[in-house]
A and B are shown apart, each in its own frame.
Chain A
Amino acid sequence: MTQQGLLIGLPGSGKTTFVAALWHVIASQDVEGALALQILEAPVDHLNTLRSRWLRLEETHRTSSNAEDITPIHVTQGEEGATATIVIPDLAGESIQQDLIDRKWETTFAEYVCGSTGVLLFVHPERVDDSWAITDAIEIAGEEPQVEQSAGEESDSTEWHPAGVPTQVKLVDLIQLVADRIKRQRFRVAVVVSAWDLIDDQESPSAWLAKELPLLSQFLLSASRRLESRVYGVSAQGGELLKDGDRLKAVIKASERIQVVHDNSSVSHDITAPIRWALNVDEEEN
């Protein structure tokens, strides 16, 4: 049976770098316990292009519209592990965000969502737009409160637009829409906090999510009848390309650049772990 993964996130949330590193691990088969390539049956040119850039320590932008092609990948886990076919299209964050504004999905995307077996929701820790209250800003600035004016009296004020909605509201909106449409009675959502190396605190990914995106965290906890969730911290590059370039180049096995953290687990290089869990490829995993 084909396990259909839905990788979604807003622009710049780290999906493409994740896919590049994921394809490297699957194809190189050098991470113990990770999903491994069983056999090639379909063109994987865009995956190879992404992987090459990732190996060269270049930014892994989405390549072309072909990147949305759905390529089935036949994988296996371990020497005696079960086989599975996964599809993990690299959907453009820009399209996903625009669809939230236009309030419509392409029919093909809606159908893909409907048939998905698990979801990976990407968040970049440095691309979180907050909803800062004016009163809080005044309080922090320590300025005297100004005479209240009615709406419209401040000439520089902006009208509301859905593009300006805080990141966590967009993500909840998105995951609500997915949950409303996905056919499975119950499904899994793996939240991938990308660029995890940027997080200074030694907190767990779940704790980070509850602190930085509390609405999303509450939603995932409350929707336990409909979905099961986990939060992973993933550094697909292993560091910042400019700052850590020399260190990253010195790593002998490129897979070991990758860092994956899940609550109550040590750091691993298995970037397939979120996929395996979300798609239920390995039911034995805790």
Chain B
Amino acid sequence: MSTNRSDEGFVPLPSGEALNVDEANQTARSSVTRVVVPAGVAGVGKTTLLSEIYEKYLEGPFAEHRFAYSKTLLGFEQRAHHARVASRRLTPTTLRTPISDTRAFLHLRLAPCSGKLPPRDLLIADWPGEAFREMRDNVQTTWSHPILARADHIAFLVDGESLGHLESRQEASHEADMLIQSVLDGGIKRAAMSVVYTKWDAALAGNGSDQLDEFRSVFEDMLRRKHSGRLGELRFIRTAARPKPGTPFNRGHNLDEVLRCWLGPPRGRLLVNPTPHGVAVREFDNFRFFGQGRQQ
């Protein structure tokens, strides 16, 4: 974990910010860690989703788990700031994740409330949307992200607000489909996968809301038809992480279901080479990333 410069007579402390790849690697090696990649283009709501899961733990146990530790408390706090009264904003928002940000992994250790199982570590990638736009447009880009091969869960985020509007729903569904296609064609076989609709409150308020269920059903059927052989069981979850006041959703709507998915097991064993021809490795190696991927 990174530390600040050590002055004489002082001992540096961990920064508390999001982790870079090396620090994430170290964390993944030191414990049984679930690595999660929320995937989606800019503005889809990746960081808001992560912030609101964190906010839930500020209020108490969530999704049958208690907060147990975090190496990135300040990283979460930075991301949550602009949705709080303390920011002096009138409307909540989330700052875009900068493309240049090399500190892109958030860490949570969660303990089952039952006490019967040990705590589990979650490493969640908070990558900028541009990274996924590149992946969507160029399958070879997926190979430069070794973490995708290590990931236990990839959640494809689909902008519900766009799905709810006649002008934008076709493009939003096409973008999600192409990103899934690219990740699968990139040889990613280990991770369990889900489709998470974000901003579902805004979807219901759009000018296409009366056709929303039908459009969603067609979209889901298309994904199953195209990818079912490679995707395995694909779950679809409708969320409203930070719904607008006056809508029929509470804050963090269905984020518990998202988190349960992330804490679940991956589909398969790790592949050494994140190409369609990768080979399986020892179980021990499931707990680390690989080599020199691009530090996003």
Choose among A110, A165, A215 the residue that contacts B74 (Cβ–Cβ < 8 A): A165
- The answer to whether B9 touches A106 (Cβ under 8 A) is yes
Residues of A within 8 A of B67 (CB): 172, 215, 218-219, 222
Residue of B66, B70, B93, B246 touching A151 (CB-CB under 8 A): B93
A143 vs B91: C-alpha distance in the bound complex, in angstroms?
12
Give Cα A262–Cα B218 distance, bound, in whole angstroms. 59
Please determine whether B88 and A157 come into contact, CB atoms closer than 8 angstroms: yes
Decide: A169 and B244 in contact? CB cutoff 8 A: no
Complex contacts, A1 vs chain B, CB 8 Å? none
Pair A221/B93 contact, Cβ less than 8 Å: no
Q: Bin chain B's interface residue count.
A: 35 or more
Chain B residues whose CB sits within 8 angstroms of the CB of A150 once the complex forms: 93
B14 in contact (CB, < 8 A):
yes
- 0/1 interface trace, chain B 1-27, chain A, CB 8 Å (1 if under): 001101101111111100000000000
Does A146 touch B at the CB level, under 8 Å?
A: yes
Q: Does B242 contact A (CB under 8 A)?
A: yes
- Which listed residue (B10, B74, B244) contacts A135, Cβ 8 A? B244
* Binary per-residue interface labels of chain B (60-77) against chain A in the complex, 1 for a CB within 8 Å, 0 otherwise: 110000111110011001
Asked if B58 contacts A157 (CB within 8 A), the reply is no
B55 to chain A, nearest CB (A): 7
B111 within 8 A of A: yes
Contact residues in A for B91 (Cβ distance below 8 Å): 134, 145-149, 154
Report how many A-B pairs have Cβ atoms within 8 Å: 153
Closest chain-B Cβ to A224's Cβ sits at a distance in Å of 8
Known contacts A103-B14, A105-B11, A149-B91; A131 and B74 CB within 8 A of each other = no
With A135-B243, A166-B58, A215-B58 known as contacts, the answer to whether A223 contacts B89 (CB < 8 A) is no
B78 at interface (Cβ–Cβ under 8 A)?
yes
Q: Chain B nearest CB: distance from A23 CB in Å?
A: 30
Complex formed: what's the CA distance from A210 to B57 in Å? 12
Chain A residues lying within 8 Å of B74, measured Cβ to Cβ, are 162, 165, 173
Q: B12 touching A218 by the CB < 8 A rule? A: no
Q: Which residue of A lies closest to B15 (CB)?
A: A103
Residue B216 is within 8 A (CB to CB) of chain A in the complex: no
Asked if B222 lies at the interface with its beta carbon under 8 angstroms from chain A, I say no
A136 pairs with B251, CB closer than 8 A: yes
Asked if A64 CB lies within 8 Å of chain B CBs, one says no
Contact A135 B78, CB 8 Å, known A146-B90, A150-B93, A158-B88:
no
- Min Cβ gap B81→A in Å is 4
A2 to B60, CA, bound (A): 37
Q: Which residues of A contact B279 (CB under 8 A)?
A: none
Task: Considering the complex, give the chain A residue whose CB is closest to the CB of B118.
Answer: A225
A interface with B by C-beta (< 8 Å): 99, 102-107, 110, 131-139, 143-151, 154, 156-160, 162, 164-166, 168-169, 172-173, 176-177, 180, 210, 214-215, 218-219, 221-223
Pairs A-B, 10 closest by C-beta atoms:
A222-B68, A222-B111, A160-B81, A218-B66, A110-B11, A218-B67, A134-B92, A214-B60, A104-B10, A132-B85
Query: Would you mind naming 5 contact pairs between A and B with Cβ atoms under 8 Å apart?
Result: A103-B13, A132-B86, A134-B84, A145-B246, A147-B91
Give 12 new A-B contacts, CB below 8 A, not counting A148-B244, A218-B61: A105-B10, A107-B9, A131-B80, A134-B91, A145-B246, A148-B91, A149-B91, A157-B82, A162-B16, A166-B58, A177-B14, A214-B59
